[in-house]
A = this chain, B = another copy of it.
Amino acid sequence: MATWSAPGKVFLFGEHAVVYGKPGIAMAIKPRVMVTVRESRYHQKPNSPYIAECFRLMDVKGSVYVRSQLPSSSGLGSSAAVTVATLCAINDEFGLEKNRAEIADLAHQVEMSAQNGRASATDTYVSAFGGMVLVRGNEKRRLLPPQNFSLVIGNTLVSHSTSEMVGKVADLRKHSPDIANPILDSIAAITMRAMYNLDNQKELGSLMNMNHALLDALGVGHPVLSKLVLAARSAGAHGAKTTGAGGGGCMYAICSKSSRNRVAGAIEGCDARAIITTIDTEGARKEKDE
């Protein structure tokens, strides 16, 4: 029996623009998915297509037990975390000796087949390695994570479709390139500016606010996201923005330690779910068997 866990992620800057080769910054967050795998002669068919694909790809049979601190389908990378943790647990239980980079690659393959060939490698990479990552095209660069990086995530509980939102931006770009392309350029400039200001939370907050407005301009906003962003800002956050595909899902705010409870309260006051968290620097890790 082997138990492994892997963290979720938020996109800090540049989502949607990354689809067009622009830079983006993603970060692993503390909430994790824990997966226990036990070798068994009779393969118990898993409910999750991700887990089923992990067993198929690794060509082993066993039973699985999953516990998650991450809400699913909310843009926090829970499917990537499930996949990475399952692959690590299989790797350990069956003595397959894959390293972290191989696990990250395999996890991306699993997501590709479970999502019909459409999956970004960012979620699985960040979940496997932890920390903060600059993504551009196929290139990934690990960033030195800032100190005291307090994050409040607000989950709108509004379901959304990543592929629908990506399609919406693609449509705007096709029919109105003169409107959409400058917006993507501005987002790219904001992301690069953010990369050099990770330790300046006030500057980072104002860049977040701009990036949020530009996501709205691309048409991937949602009234509840706007509401949570406004609530977080008026509760004292340095900045607040949609994270991920938009049209629902989550937003996040950065704030000082002293104001994070107030920001979380403001979000909960809008009938949404708040998660106070910070950067996870470990990535996938072995847990004690229970």
* A interface residues with partner B (beta carbon < 8 Å): 176, 178-180, 182-183, 185-186, 189-190, 193, 206, 209-210, 213-214, 216-217, 219, 221, 223, 226-227, 230, 233-234
CB distance from A242 to the nearest CB of B (A): 11
Which residues of B sit under 8 angstroms from A206, Cβ to Cβ? 219
Residue pair B214, A219 in contact (C-beta under 8 Å): no
Q: How many Å from the CB of A119 to the closest CB on chain B?
A: 28
Given known A223-B234, A233-B223, contact A189–B193 (CB-CB < 8 A): no
Given A210-B219, A213-B213, A214-B217, are A186 and B182 neighbors across the interface (CB < 8 Å)? yes
Alpha-carbon distance A206/B193, docked complex (angstroms): 29
Number of this chain's copies in the complex: 2
- A227 cross-chain contacts in B, Cβ below 8 A: 230
Complexed CA–CA distance, A26 and B227 (Å): 30
A178–B182 CB distance below 8 A: no
A221 nearest CB neighbor, chain B only: B213
Give the residue of B189, B209, B217, B226 whose beta carbon is less than 8 angstroms from that of A186. B217
Measured between beta carbons, the chain B residues less than 8 angstroms from A221 are 213
Distance of A193 Cα from B180 Cα, bound (Å): 13
Report A216 CB to chain B, min CB distance, Å. Answer: 4
Task: Pick from B193, B230, B234: contact of A176, CB below 8 A.
Answer: B193
Q: A183-B186, A183-B214, A216-B216 are in contact. List 19 more A-B contacts (CB 8 A).
A: A176-B193, A178-B186, A178-B189, A179-B186, A179-B190, A182-B185, A182-B186, A186-B186, A209-B216, A209-B219, A210-B217, A210-B219, A213-B214, A213-B216, A213-B217, A213-B221, A217-B217, A223-B233, A223-B234
Residues of B within 8 A of A226 (CB): 226, 230
11 A–B pairs (Cβ distance < 8 Å), ordered by A: A178-B186, A179-B210, A182-B185, A182-B189, A183-B183, A209-B216, A213-B213, A216-B216, A226-B226, A226-B230, A227-B230
| Residues of chain B within 8 A of A214, CB atoms compared | 183, 213-214, 217
- Chain B residues within an 8 Å CB radius of A190: 179
Which chain B residues lie closer than 8 Å to A219 at the CB level? 206, 209-210
Closest chain-B Cβ to A84's Cβ sits at a distance in Å of: 34
Shortest distance in angstroms between A289's beta carbon and chain B's nearest beta carbon? 50
Task: Give every chain B residue within 8 A of A186 (Cβ-Cβ).
Answer: 178-180, 182-183, 186, 217
